Amino acid sequence: MVHLLWLFMLCLLCDGLTYKGVLGLACNWGLQATHPLPPNIVVKLMKDNGFDKVKLFEADPGALNALGNSGIEVMVGIPNDFLASLASSVTFAESWVQQNVSYYISNHGVDIRHVAVGNEPFLKTYNGTFLQTTFPALQNIQAALIKAGLGQQVKVTIPLNADVYQSDSGLPSGGNFRSDIHDLMISIVKFLDNNGAPLTVNIYPFISLYSDPNFPVEYAFFNTTSTQIVDGTITYTNVFEANYDTLISALDKNGYSSMPVIVGEVGWPTDGDSHANIANAKRFNQGLLDRIIEGQGTPKRSTPPDIYLFGLIDEDQKSIQPGNFERHWGIFYYDGSIKYSLDLGNGTALVGAKGVKYLSRQWCIMSPEASILDPSLVNSINYACTYADCTSLGYGSSCSMLDARNNISYAFNMYYQTMDQRQGACSFSNLSVITNVDPSQDTCRFEVMIDLGSTPSPSSARRKQNSMVALILVALLLVICNVY
Ligand SMILES: *[C@@H]1O[C@H](CO)[C@@H](O)[C@H](O)[C@H]1NC(C)=O
Ligand SMILES: *[C@@H]1O[C@H](CO)[C@@H](O)[C@H](O)[C@H]1NC(C)=O
Ligand SMILES: *[C@@H]1O[C@H](CO)[C@@H](O)[C@H](O)[C@H]1NC(C)=O
Ligand SMILES: *[C@@H]1O[C@H](CO)[C@@H](O)[C@H](O)[C@H]1NC(C)=O
Ligand SMILES: *[C@@H]1O[C@H](CO)[C@@H](O)[C@H](O)[C@H]1NC(C)=O
Ligand SMILES: *[C@@H]1O[C@H](CO)[C@@H](O)[C@H](O)[C@H]1NC(C)=O
């Protein structure tokens, strides 16, 4: 074990030599996937690409262990389900901090800098569910951090959706907090300010475009001069800046003009909608990266915020209630492979995940003998798409051009791969067969699932993954240390 640790540290050192671009990128690492990439591979992926800050949506043990001694700063999230308990019990808040923050800092060398209390708790669509509990939960977590001796090191925040502010004039200068939560927002901002903590906001130009058919497409991107909003002496050429400055105006107006702000999520999906494609995502994210690399602020605030990209990797189990695009926000596919090239500054190109293991190169497709009119097809497809992700088949998506037969094959294959190519997972009433010929065509990729070392049931997947950590470490070591 001692040797292993030694080798691991050596490799951390040689890791440091791989990245040559501009450091200081931040991203979100979500885990709502049937087959989350092994945490060590993800941490290596982040380091290889210059990410030195990460935001987690929950205090996931696998992710936190892997982040130990990595040099990556961590924002640990607390899901909204916890807010009521945290609000009603200081003791629970203390035990939460003890078990999910103090423990990882002291025992695993995790560089936790922020605790994100709740996730967009004031979103209008939640109908006020978390209005009473969020602020008390924030206060209890802050008290617990101070009690744990982490008051200086770890700051609290609440990732808020940009719908907590608005502008009656439609211009950024008219920005103020939403009227139904105005006083609550001021109390929260005051509390954060008193504790030297930042305000976190998620800004989504893609959603602006997606939800408004009249939204000017160019205005969603950065590298345009065509669409402009004139606000007094300021001219806005992109909605990101205008939206961010609406918040800055709200803060200025209420006496918090130096309140630090973090952009907790921003990004562009590659599938699941006609605006969600590789070209648009590349254009948006490259524009965003260029700003980050240049340290560009906005007209109303010259100091740039920390910006956490959403997201690092696709998550095939995210709710698609907001839209099919939800499962395609990753800069990387589910397996850590590259979707499109990005310049990370200094001409440094994005690199994909290393050491990923795959299942056999085989796919489940509709049997050539089966009839397209077979009455059991409908149930089979419904079944497949209930348990697997078929969002790439929808209108305007990467597989929408498939003919009926290939469409069905796609659904069958997604189920087969999601079930780890398990025996019996490609037997839809005898309508399917296994093939060794990759059925992918044009933009439509027929996946081969990553091999997590077993056929995990959803609940045992994570435990299994933990026990894989040592094995993967050794594999990584062999690969890395051979290279250098
Ligand atoms: C670009 O890379 C060079 C050499 O690796 C480094 O010295 C320089 O600081 C980098 N520039 C920026 C802006 O990070
Ligand atoms: C954090 O700590 C609490 C105990 O206070 C525990 O119930 C919870 O499951 C832990 N883990 C996460 C991910 O929050
Ligand atoms: C909010 O209210 C709307 C309309 O009453 C309802 O359809 C929706 O399910 C509610 N959402 C939540 C999270 O309670
Ligand atoms: C902006 O990006 C698009 C898409 O990548 C490209 O076609 C266009 O030339 C770019 N415009 C500018 C001004 O850089
Ligand atoms: C393919 O499948 C999707 C989703 O199951 C469906 O909406 C679409 O109409 C299908 N297209 C064809 C050509 O069968
Ligand atoms: C599948 O085919 C086999 C052999 O032809 C047959 O015995 C079986 O009943 C079929 N199963 C279904 C569900 O149609």
Tens digit of pLDDT for each residue in 21-56? 556 899 999 999 999 999 999 999 999 999 999 999
Ligand lying closest to the C-alpha of residue 104: 2
- What residue's CA is closest to ligand 2, atom 9? 96
**Cα separation of 253 and 118, whole Å?**
26
pTM for the structure as a whole: 0.88
Banded pLDDT at 225 (limits 50, 70, 90):
confident
Q: Active-site residue among 120, 315, 326, 447? A: 120
User: Does the active-site annotation cover 73?
Assistant: no
CATH of 23-328, one of 1.20.950.20, 3.20.20.80, 3.40.190.80, 3.40.50.10440: 3.20.20.80
**Cα separation of 392 and 325, whole Å?**
9
Kindly report the backbone phi and psi dihedral angles of residue 343, in degrees, each rounded to the nearest multiple of 5, phi listed first: -95, 115
pLDDT per residue as tens digits for the range 48-95:
999 999 999 999 999 999 999 999 999 999 999 999 999 999 999 999
How is 77-105 classified by DSSP, letter by letter? EE-GGGHHHHHH-HHHHHHHHIIIIIHHH
User: Does the active-site annotation cover 326?
Assistant: no
| SS3 assignment, position 177 | strand
Using a 6 Å CB cutoff, which residues line ligand 1? 20, 22, 346
Banded pLDDT at 146 (limits 50, 70, 90):
very high
Taking the CA of residue 293 as reference, the ligand 1 atom at the shortest distance is: 13
Distance 100 CA to ligand 2 centre (A): 6
Ligand 5 in reach of 11 Cβ (< 6 A): no
Taking the CA of residue 127 as reference, the ligand 3 atom at the shortest distance is: 1
Burial of 162 (0-12, 13-18, 19+ CB in 10 A): buried
Using a 6 Å CB cutoff, which residues line ligand 6? 429-430
Residue extents of the structural domains in the chain: 23-328, 363-435
Distance 320 CA to ligand 4 centre (A): 30
- What residue's CA is closest to ligand 6, atom 3? 430
